[in-house]
Amino acid sequence: MLQFLATAESSKVMSGLIDGFGPNGLRCLISASDKAKRFWAYERAAAFTNRYCIRGQEVTIMTNASPTQNVANRLPAANGLAIVRLTIGAMLVWVFFENLGKGLYTPAGYAGLINYYIKASHSPAAWKAVMGLAASHAAMAAPIQAVTEIGLGILLVIGLLTRPAAFVAFLYLGSLWISEWGTSWIWELLVPVLASLGLAVGRAGRAWGVDALLARRWPSSPWW
């Protein structure tokens, strides 16, 4: 078994490769060129190594960074995302109790707030029509909004199902941003909107969250 450090050149993805199997049943990318009959395995081993079959001989290409170094490099970014996740989650929980205290989850309170945005905001006419529909069905829409806010807030705070929760928060806060257009500072809601999208992309529940425990058992799951 040969071992050597991977260089930038040796780790480049080669073109003109087809899927196949090399010696000992190792799944490989086989060069389609007649002049270069080499088997380039693409399966990654658990210890951050790449295994290759070159001219029938199995070769292990070691990456320059050790697993410990890779984990250490990811920790600051993961912790930073976790702080943003906790902030957005706490904000949603706070908004829930604030709206609850103001009576905005009652049919009358909810309809009054939505009708104010319809009159005062600069939202597109099509979106105002959607808001009007919600206001006319306030008895249903108000509890749905309440459950959405407290549910998303709790999921983000504890870091459970963070990616779908953060994406739903992105859509929900985005809808509020459109509804309030022209009634408040444009960045007031736009910042948490984009932060929620970043949480969904960055798998923010894998630090300080329940998702970290789930990821140990199902590391490739798209849900965390």
Residues 56 and 83 in one domain: no
Burial 154-170 (b: 16+ CB within 10 A, else e): ebbbbbbbbbebbebbb
Residues 135 and 41 in one domain: no
pLDDT score recorded for residue 213: 96
Residues 81 and 135 in one domain: yes
Q: Are 152 and 169 in contact (CB under 8 A)?
A: yes
Residues 15 and 86 in one domain: no
Residues 27 and 90 in one domain: no
Q: For residues 170 and 131, what is the distance between their CA atoms, to the nearest angstrom?
A: 18
Which residues form the domain of 48? 2-62
Q: For residues 95 and 145, what is the distance between their CA atoms, to the nearest angstrom?
A: 11
Residues 122 and 50 in one domain: no
Residues 113 and 213 in one domain: yes
Closest CA relative to residue 174, chosen from 115, 103, 123: 123
Q: Are 52 and 160 in contact (CB under 8 A)?
A: no
Whether the per-residue pLDDT at 61 is higher than 90: the answer is: no
Span 63-114, pLDDT tens digits: 444 544 445 557 889 999 999 999 999 999 999 999 999 999 999 999 999 9
pLDDT score recorded for residue 76: 87
Span 9-42, pLDDT tens digits: 333 434 444 444 444 444 445 444 443 444 444 3
Residues 108 and 175 in one domain: yes
pLDDT confidence bin for 141, thresholds 50/70/90: very high
Residues 32 and 135 in one domain: no
pTM: 0.68
Choice between 96 and 57, residue whose per-residue pLDDT is larger: 96
pLDDT confidence bin for 180, thresholds 50/70/90: very high
The fraction of the chain above a pLDDT of 70, given in percent, is: 67
Residues 40 and 86 in one domain: no
Q: For residues 56 and 18, what is the distance between their CA atoms, to the nearest angstrom?
A: 17
Whether the per-residue pLDDT at 8 is higher than 50: the answer is: no
Residue 112 lies in a domain: yes
- Average pLDDT (121-141) is 97
Burial 175-186 (b: 16+ CB within 10 A, else e): ebbbbbbeeeee
Residues 91 and 182 in one domain: yes
